[in-house]
Chain A
C-alpha cells in the first residue's frame, strides 16, 4: 500500500530540546517537502528536497534542519532555536517531471511542555 507515513502523530518538546519528526514515502517520489501549519495561516514551506543529498530552504527555515540521505526518507529536526515550535507539521512528496502534484502525509502535531 503506497503512501506517506509520518511519526509520531503527537510529539512533545521540552524547552531547549531538539526533536526530530519522521517522514517516509514508498511512492518512489523524487521530491519531498516539509510544511508548517498554524491556524488561519495556511501552509508555509520549511524545507524541500528534489534529490538525495540535496535540499533547499523554504520560506520559514530558521530553527529547523533536514537531511536527505535516502530517497524515501526526509526527517525534520526542530531545534531549540525555533522559539515557537507548536504547530502541525505536514510532509509531502512529488514525482519530478510529472504534473507537480504533491501528496501529503497525515501530519505530526508538536506541542511544547
Chain B
C-alpha cells in the first residue's frame, strides 16, 4: 500500500529565509508525486508535480521540489519565503493507472516578520 509521511507538523520561518518541507513516500511502483497548498478555509491548489524525467521540478509561486528515488523523498523548497506563503502544505503520491491519491497529513507553515 502506498503511504506518505510529512514529518513536520508545523514549521516557523522568518520572512526572506529559505524553506524546505519534507515528504517521504512508500510505493512499490514508479510514483507520481504532488505538492498542494491550502490557505485557511480554502481548497487545495496544485503547486507542482513529478511524473518522470528531470528530478528537479519547478512549480508556481517560486517553489521547486526534488525527487530522490534512493531516499524515497520529494522535498519542497523555496529560496526566500514571503508572508503570503503562510499556509498548509500537502504532499501526495499516486501512480499511473491508480485512480486514487494518498495524501500526507500536512505541514503548517508560519511566517514571522
Contact = CB atoms under 8 A, between A and B. Distances in A.
Interface of A: 4, 6, 31, 40-43, 45, 48, 50, 58, 88, 90, 92, 94, 99-107, 109
16 contacts: A41-B105, A42-B103, A45-B100, A50-B99, A90-B44, A92-B44, A99-B32, A100-B32, A100-B94, A100-B95, A101-B49, A103-B46, A105-B43, A106-B43, A107-B41, A109-B41
Contacts, number: 50
A100 B103 contact: no
B32 A102 contact: no
Interface residues of B, number: 24
Task: State the majority secondary structure of interface residues on B.
Answer: loop
A100 B104 CA distance: 17
Contact of B103 (A4, A40, A43): A43
Contact of B100 (A48, A88, A99): A48
Nearest to A43: B103
Contacts of A109: 41
Given A40-B9, A42-B90, A107-B41, A102 B101 contact: yes
B100 A104 contact: no
Contacts of A31: 99
A104 B44 contact: yes
A100 B103 CA distance: 14
Contacts of A48: 99-100
A106 B105 contact: no
Interface string B85-113: 00000100011101111011110000000
A6, A48, A102, A106: most-surrounded residue (chain B CB, <10 A): A102
Given A41-B105, A42-B105, A43-B103, A104 B45 contact: yes
Contacts of A43: 44, 90, 103
A103 B46 CA distance: 7
Given A41-B105, A48-B99, 15 more contacts: A40-B105, A42-B90, A42-B103, A43-B90, A48-B100, A90-B44, A92-B44, A100-B101, A101-B46, A103-B46, A104-B36, A104-B43, A104-B44, A106-B42, A107-B43
